[in-house]
A = this chain, B = another copy of it.
Amino acid sequence: MGSDFSEATATDAVVESFAETPDARLREVMQSFTRHLHAFVRDVEPTQGEWEAAIGFLTAVGHLSDDRRQEFILLSDVMGVSMLVDAINNRRPVGATESTVLGPFHVVESPARALGDDLAEAHEAPRCLVRGRVLDLDGRPVAGALVDVWQADDQGFYDVQKDDLAPDLRGLFTCDEVGRFWFRTIVPLHYPIPDDGPVGALLRATGRHPYRPAHIHFIAGAAGHNPVTTHLFVEGSPYLEDDTVFGVKQSLVRPVRQEDDEETATSLGLPNPFQVIDFDITLAEDRSPTGG
């Protein structure tokens, strides 16, 4: 460290203070963080009052974070950092289904369901058939792939946001021998992220809304393949153009279509015609040394 602080030498002094960090990765991270944090401070030249406001904001974000509500993750989300970290960690070959954020609502285990089950027994809204296949990059079905599904209801709420104890609108499916999965559900509504805390205040102060477009969460995986955490986005939903957590990839947007198919309707107990969303998922092979 330098023994004479000055604006000119400050950043090098702090970088140097981390030089003896035993763990090389932690050293790299802290030295990079120092350089970028100081560059931000030098760029905006905060007043003492602005610095105090920043300290107060971060403190409020910390105070609101617990096992049920994680305001720092929300801050990471609205700053686009969660999606950026997701993208960096999930670079995939062309053709594989793209990833998006896990989100904060995968907090309970999805119950195992049979193909065709209704995830929305507690709900009145019209049913929609969601179906697809899990495929490899060559278009071959991945027999027995696991597909974990969770979603908000037609009011925009997840089960864990309500006082209900039973899992609702969640299911873990095992694909059939030709990689197919299908289930009945309701079409979810767009919804706001929790906006009664400091992150909500930040969104309001910056003229941003707190909404995410309607989506259904998926995690799909199978032996020998890289799992994918993703969403199916509902075509025509508001906020597809300006998801407040920057989660939308156009390759994941699917229409809700009307289908006229008496046989399928009868076998699933649906009216005819019925609503359907088709969503195939393509997994890349796991080529890591431990893959498989």
Interface residues of A (CB under 8 A from B): 1-7, 10-11, 13-14, 17-18, 20-23, 26-30, 32-34, 36-48, 50-51, 55, 58-63, 65, 70, 72-73, 76, 79-89, 91, 100, 205-208, 240-244, 246-250
Give the number of copies in the complex.
2
18 extra interface residue pairs, beta carbon distance < 8 Å, beyond A3-B250, A7-B87: A6-B249, A10-B87, A11-B80, A13-B246, A14-B80, A17-B206, A32-B43, A33-B44, A36-B39, A37-B79, A38-B84, A41-B88, A48-B86, A55-B76, A58-B58, A59-B72, A61-B62, A63-B63
Q: CB < 8 Å: which of B27, B41, B87, B243 contacts A1?
A: B243
Q: CB < 8 Å: which of B7, B21, B59, B244 contacts A84?
A: B7
Which secondary structure dominates where chain A touches chain B?
Answer: helix
**Chain B residues near A241 (CB-CB < 8 A):** 1, 3
Q: CB < 8 Å: which of B30, B65, B73 contacts A206?
A: B30
**Chain B residues near A28 (CB-CB < 8 A):** 44
Closest to A65 in B: B59
Contact across chains for B48 and A73 when beta carbons are under 8 A apart: no
By Cβ-Cβ distance, the 4 closest A-B pairs, closest first, are A62-B62, A14-B80, A36-B40, A20-B207
Contact across chains for B246 and A1 when beta carbons are under 8 A apart: yes
Contact across chains for A80 and B32 when beta carbons are under 8 A apart: no
Known: A62-B63, A206-B30. A4 touches B80 (CB 8 A): no
**Chain B residues near A37 (CB-CB < 8 A):** 36, 40, 79, 81
Closest to A47 in B: B89
Known: A27-B206, A32-B43, A44-B29. A242 touches B3 (CB 8 A): yes
Contact across chains for B249 and A5 when beta carbons are under 8 A apart: yes
Report the minimum CB–CB distance from A147 to chain B (whole Å): 21
Contact across chains for B46 and A5 when beta carbons are under 8 A apart: no
Contact across chains for B55 and A72 when beta carbons are under 8 A apart: yes
Contact across chains for B85 and A51 when beta carbons are under 8 A apart: yes
Distance A128 CA – B72 CA, assembled complex (angstroms): 49
Q: CB < 8 Å: which of B29, B50, B63 contacts A50?
A: B29
